[in-house]
Structure 1
């Protein structure tokens, strides 16, 4: 039973990873410090896609499922098993990848716009350019 739970946990973590790759940049709109971790995760996902690296989570899930007496993942891997042909038609894999890339680009563009607006509002020194009523201006 432990191997089955490990396989299920790896699958859920994999889905969470893909969701964070796709939507994590939007979290940076609210929490700007999350932009750098998202950039690292997105770069890793891009490398997996372009270079063809195997994802360690795929190996963990496959290993655990085989030890639990279940069918392992097909050689095509996690995305092809759970998403391609299930969530989108197999012939639209590139379209799905481009949609994820567009979501990442849009989220980073929005984060950049919000960062510029925050800086403009904060002004030099973060005071927003306003003074307390009755404060004396230094000359």
Structure 2
């Protein structure tokens, strides 16, 4: 029971992290001090696209396997929960570009609102 709870919490935190990655720059329009946190989240997102393993993926996989469930595939969290579910796998680069444009737009707005 406890292992499954750890896995489920890791999954929820992962989704929250991805949502914050996409819209956190807009939140910084209102709460300016959060821009540093968002920059760190974006940096981690870029690193994960470049191939760095995410510790949340390992935590969730560990929890699922110890709970007697099937763990995450080697391809990871996004491939398991998002690609092929929310958008087709062949549109991965388009989805990444969309998030990048969203982040850049939010940063432009952040800078313009600061002036």
What's the TM-score once normalised by structure 1's chain length?
0.81
Q: Deviations over 1:21-78 (max 9, x none)?
A: 111000001011111110111011111112x000000000000000000000001100
User: Number of matched residues?
Assistant: 115
Q: Aligned partners of 2:48 and 2:79: how far apart in 1?
A: 14
Q: What's the RMSD between the two structures over aligned residues?
A: 0.6
Runs of 4 or more consecutive aligned structure 1 residues displaced over 4 Å after TM superposition: none
Aligned to 2:75: 76
Aligned to 1:26: 26
Q: Aligned partners of 1:34 and 1:111: how far apart in 2?
A: 11
What's the TM-score once normalised by structure 2's chain length?
0.98
Question: Given the alignment of the two structures, is residue 61 of structure 1 paired with residue 64 of structure 2, yes or no?
Answer: no
Gaps of at least 5 residues in structure 1 are 117-139
The answer to which structure, 1 or 2, has the higher relative contact order (CA under 8 A, 6+ apart) is 2
Write out aligned runs for 1:89-100 (5 A). Answer: 89-100=88-99
Gaps of at least 5 residues in structure 2 are none
Q: Deviations over 1:64-115 (max 9, x none)?
A: 0000000000011000000000000010000111111111001111000000
- Deviation of 1:8 after TM superposition, in Å, equals 0.3
